[in-house]
Amino acid sequence: MKNPTPIVEIAATGRFLPDNVVTNDDLAKTMDTSDEWIRTRTGISERRIAPDGLTAAEMGASAARQAMERAGVQPGEVDIVILSTATPDRWLPSTACDTQALLGCDNAVAFDIMAACSGFLYGLSMAEGYLAAGRGEIALVISAEKMSTIIDWDDRTTAVLFGDGAGAAVVRRSNGSGRGILSTHLRSDGRLANLLYRPGGGTIDPLSQGVLDEGRHLMKMQGREIFKNAVRNMAEACDLALQKAGLTSDDIDLLVPHQANIRIIEATAKYAGIPMEKVYVNVDRYGNMSSASVPIAFDEALEQGRIGPGSKVLTAAFGAGLTWGAMTLRM
C-alpha cells in the first residue's frame, strides 16, 4: 500500500509542567507505599503537582503559547481550539473557552473533549477533520490535566500514579509537503467504563456531603484490568495504524506512547515490534498526566532531536472510557 498524503501537520508543540516535584519518598511519608514498589511496578520516580489556584486553563494556555510562538502563529489566526481534559476547571463553561480567553484567540471556536488519556489523539483527529473540511487553516490542540484534584490521596493504588501538566500542538494544513498525519485508528468501549471512573459528583450522583464524605467524586480504578486492556488495545491500534499508512514497525523512528506505566510501554513496544531505544519514555519524571502525557512526550522528543524533519512517528494512547488509539505521522 502506498503512503497516504497527509492533510494536516503538526507545525509546532509546547508544554507546561508545574515546578513542584513530588518524589516517591515524599509520598511514602504520608501513605503506606515505598519508592521501591512504585519504581519497580510502574517506572515512576517523581511527578509534578500543581499548586492550588493554578488552573488547567492556565497550564493549557502556557503550553499553547509556547507552541504558537514556535509556529509563528498569532492568537487571532487560530480557527479552532480543542482542549482535552479529565479535570475541567468548572463544569460550565468548557475549559477550552477559558483557555481561548487567556490566549486571546478571538476568532476561534473552542470546546472541550473528554476522552481521558487518549484525548490528545482524539483532538488531533478532530482538528484534522475540521481543517480537511475547509472550515479553517489553523487548529490548537491542547491537553491540560490537573490530576491531583481528582486523586484519592488515601488510595495508594491510584495516588502514586498520576501527575499534573499540559501539552499543546499547533496543527495546520499540510500544503503537499508530505509532512503530517499519515494514519489514525481510534476506538472506544463504553461497556468497560467502570474500570476507571469517578462514580459521584455528576448528574447520576450529584455532589452532596455524602459524595464528599465517601470520596465518590474521586477516581477509582481496577488497575490490573486496565493494564491488560491497555496493552491489548494499544498493540492492536499500533498494528492497524501502521497498516493504514502502508508502514511496518521498521519504518518507525520513534514510538511516543501514553505514559501510564513502564511495563505497559514495554509490552506495547514489544507487540508493535519496536525496540526500547526507539521509544520515548518520561513516565519516570512525570507519572501519568492523562491526555497531557503524549503531547509533553512529543514536545520533549522534538526538543531533544529524537524526532526531526522527515522522522516517522508512531504514537498510541489508552484511557478511561475505555478509549484508545494510535496514529502515524511524518514530521
Other beta carbons within 10 angstroms of residue 330's beta carbon come to 22
Least distance (Å) between residue 196 CB and ligand UT7: 6
Nearer residue to ligand UT7 within complex by CB, 2 or 191: 191
Task: Compute the C-alpha angle 269/249/265, nearest 5°.
Answer: 10
| Count of residues in contact with ligand UT7, rule CB under 6 A | 21
Site for ligand UT7 in 161-220 (CB under 6 A): 196
Q: 288 catalytic, yes or no?
A: yes
Name every residue whose Cβ is closer than 8 Å to that of residue 232 and which is 6 or more positions away in sequence: none
User: Is 160 among the residues that bind ligand UT7 (CB under 6 A)?
Assistant: yes
For residue 152, give the C-alpha cell: 484519592
Reduced to 3 states (helix: H, G, I; strand: E, B; else coil), residue 265 is: helix
Q: Distance between CA atoms of 157 and 242, rounded to whole angstroms?
A: 34
User: Is 43 among the residues that bind ligand UT7 (CB under 6 A)?
Assistant: no
User: Is 117 among the residues that bind ligand UT7 (CB under 6 A)?
Assistant: yes
Q: 217 catalytic, yes or no?
A: no
Task: Compute the C-alpha angle 209/211/145, nearest 5°.
Answer: 115
Least distance (Å) between residue 305 CB and ligand UT7: 27
Residue 138 backbone dihedrals phi, psi, to 5 degrees: -130, 130
Q: Distance between CA atoms of 264 and 115, rounded to whole angstroms?
A: 19
Q: Distance between CA atoms of 264 and 228, rounded to whole angstroms?
A: 9
Contact region for ligand UT7 (CB under 6 A) — 106-114, 167-175, 212-220, 225-233? 225-233
Among 74, 157, 175, 208, binds ligand UT7 (CB under 6 A): 157
Residues 179 and 171 sit within 8 Å (Cβ to Cβ): no
User: Is 42 among the residues that bind ligand UT7 (CB under 6 A)?
Assistant: yes
Name the β-bridge partners of 326.
185, 316
Least distance (Å) between residue 258 CB and ligand UT7: 6
Residue 90 backbone dihedrals phi, psi, to 5 degrees: -145, 160
Nearer residue to ligand UT7 within complex by CB, 10 or 292: 292
User: Is 65 among the residues that bind ligand UT7 (CB under 6 A)?
Assistant: no
Q: 258 catalytic, yes or no?
A: yes
Contact region for ligand UT7 (CB under 6 A) — 33-41, 232-240, 269-277, 304-312? 33-41
Contact region for ligand UT7 (CB under 6 A) — 173-181, 224-232, 238-246, 304-312? 224-232
Cα–chain-centroid distance for residue 216?
Answer: 24
From 97, 105, 117, 238, the catalytic residue: 117
Name every residue whose Cβ is closer than 8 Å to that of residue 125 and which is 6 or more positions away in sequence: 181, 184, 186, 325, 327
User: Is 260 among the residues that bind ligand UT7 (CB under 6 A)?
Assistant: yes
User: Is 226 among the residues that bind ligand UT7 (CB under 6 A)?
Assistant: yes
Name the β-bridge partners of 329.
181, 313
Cα–chain-centroid distance for residue 19?
Answer: 19
Contact region for ligand UT7 (CB under 6 A) — 32-40, 66-74, 79-87, 125-133? 32-40
Nearer residue to ligand UT7 within complex by CB, 24 or 328: 24
**What is the binding site for ligand UT7 (CB under 6 A)?**
33, 37-38, 41-42, 117, 156-157, 160, 196, 223-224, 226-227, 230, 260-261, 264, 288, 318-319
Q: Which residues are catalytic?
A: 117, 258, 288
